[in-house]
């Protein structure tokens, strides 16, 4: 295993920075051309023209678009995303409170989807055209076809309202809110750090259903891609040789095939994780999850462009960073990708 050269690493970092700058430009322009009146959201629809114009000047909306962009860009470098209309707090402060909830939900979802999707994809390829393979394909098809919000509503009706197996909307019951001091922002982790197992189990009962529902769509994608990668490897000469030597099918897949598809799976898992962070919006609305998705939705309702732009940039940056790390891991684990890029 060879390390990446400094020039190759620099090239990839430059691509990331260019992509981030393009994201900033596109997001800012879209935020300014949308038919939303941020001044009216602040001063109200009944404000007199003088107050309206004064607020417009205060927000810098009287300046040319390029000047507004550079002022906004300067604020970003200082960590200043502006002030949220919805809460009156700095947007960075709101995001620091909302994002850990989304991160916790998406992380648990990607762990569930990985531990279920990869073995199911391997089994489907190993037992091709059997009941296991057909079952895996049906699971993948349903996961791609049925909307997440429908699964969420049905899940709440069955497992919360009817069976009472899981907690309801929110991260914890109202009684437990604010009992755990935030250390990491991840309630499951913070409750364990505090040693409060009662809050931990209550938080787990609330997160398990939205995490499984959010994980299902990712699991469908992971299963399908794992099956495809495995089938491609099963037709290779080294697999045929291993079987000719008497190596069992299961051992062949685990010892020979899985290491060879690990590099491809890294990219699939990185994309899935980014999609979960981005796609948690609907799940958070259904389950009243106080994350960045619900924060963006509430901001959209009142035209809070500072909050919308900041949340979009954060999610976009994380998605690009995950793909960047996947590319780095891909290049480190598979030297052929470095040679092809030269």
- pLDDT at 329 exceeding the cut of 90: no
Q: Quick one: pLDDT at residue 74? A: 84
pLDDT (0 to 100) of residue 244: 79
Q: Which pLDDT band, with edges at 50, 70 and 90, does 115 fall under?
A: very high
Q: How does pLDDT run across 249-286, given as a tens digit for each residue?
A: 778 888 778 888 888 888 888 888 888 877 677 888 88
Report the interhelical angle of 258-286 vs 197-234 (nearest 10°). 140
Task: Write out pLDDT tens, residues 6-52.
Answer: 677 777 778 878 888 888 888 788 777 776 777 776 776 677 788 87
Contact 256, 263 (CB under 8 A): no
The domain spans of the chain are 6-36+81-341
> CA-CA distances (angstroms) from residue 118 to 121, 221, 227, 248?
5, 10, 8, 19
The average pLDDT across 325-331 equals 74
pLDDT the model gives residue 341: 47
Superfamily of domain 6-36+81-341: MetI-like (1.10.3720.10)
> What does the buried/exposed string (b/e) look like for 14-23 if buried means 16 or more CB atoms within 10 Å of the residue's CB?
eebeebbeeb
The two tokens of residue 282 are 């609907």
**pLDDT value of position 335:** 55
> What mean pLDDT is predicted for residues 293-312?
81
Question: Which pLDDT does position 1 carry in this prediction?
Answer: 43
CB of 187 closer than 8 Å to CB of 104? yes
pLDDT over 80 (residue 54): yes
Q: Give me the pLDDT at residue 296, please.
A: 84
Q: Model confidence over 175-190: pLDDT tens digits? A: 888 888 888 889 999 9
Between 98 and 144, residue with greater pLDDT: 98
pLDDT tens for each residue of 206-250:
999 999 998 998 898 999 999 998 888 888 878 878 777 777 777
In 3D space, the residue among 251, 277, 255, 274 whose CA is nearest the CA of residue 320 turns out to be 274
The stretch 297-326 carries a mean pLDDT of: 81
Banded pLDDT at 202 (limits 50, 70, 90): very high
* pLDDT for residue 4: 58
User: Which tokens in the block code for residue 51?
Assistant: 């107050």
């Amino acid at each position: 295993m060879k390390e990446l050269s400094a020039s190759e690493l620099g090239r990839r970092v430059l691509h990331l920075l260019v992509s981030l700058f393009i994201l900033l430009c596109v997001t800012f322009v879209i935020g300014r051309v949308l038919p939303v009146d941020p001044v009216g959201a602040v001063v109200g629809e009944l404000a007199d023209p003088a107050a309206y114009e004064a607020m417009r000047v205060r927000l810098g909306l009287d300046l040319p678009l390029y000047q507004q962009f550079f002022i906004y860009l300067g604020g970003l470098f200082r960590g200043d995303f502006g002030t949220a209309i919805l809460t009156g707090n700095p947007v960075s402060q709101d995001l620091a409170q909302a994002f850990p909830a989304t991160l916790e939900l998406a992380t648990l979802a990607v762990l569930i989807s990985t531990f279920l999707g990869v073995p199911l994809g391997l089994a489907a390829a190993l037992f091709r055209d059997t009941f296991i393979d057909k079952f895996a394909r049906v699971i993948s098809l349903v996961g791609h076809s049925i909307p997440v919000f429908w699964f969420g509503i049905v899940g709440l009706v069955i497992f919360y309202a009817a069976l009472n197996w899981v907690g309801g909307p929110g991260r914890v019951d109202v009684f437990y809110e604010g009992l755990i001091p935030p250390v990491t922002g991840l309630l499951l982790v913070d409750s364990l750090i505090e040693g409060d197992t009662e809050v931990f189990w209550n938080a787990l009962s609330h997160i398990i259903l939205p995490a499984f529902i959010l994980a299902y769509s990712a699991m469908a994608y992971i299963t399908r891609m794992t099956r495809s990668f495995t089938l491609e490897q099963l037709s290779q000469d080294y697999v045929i040789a291993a079987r000719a030597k008497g190596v069992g099918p299961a051992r062949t897949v685990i010892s020979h095939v899985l290491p060879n598809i690990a590099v491809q799976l890294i990219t699939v898992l990185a994309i899935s994780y980014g999609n979960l962070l981005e796609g948690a919006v609907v799940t958070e609305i259904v389950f009243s999850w106080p994350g960045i998705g619900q924060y963006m939705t509430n901001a959209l309702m009142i035209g809070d462009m500072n909050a919308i732009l900041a949340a979009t940039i954060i999610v976009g940056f994380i998605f690009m960073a995950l793909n960047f790390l996947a590319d780095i891991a891909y290049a480190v684990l598979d030297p052929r990708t470095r040679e092809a890029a030269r």
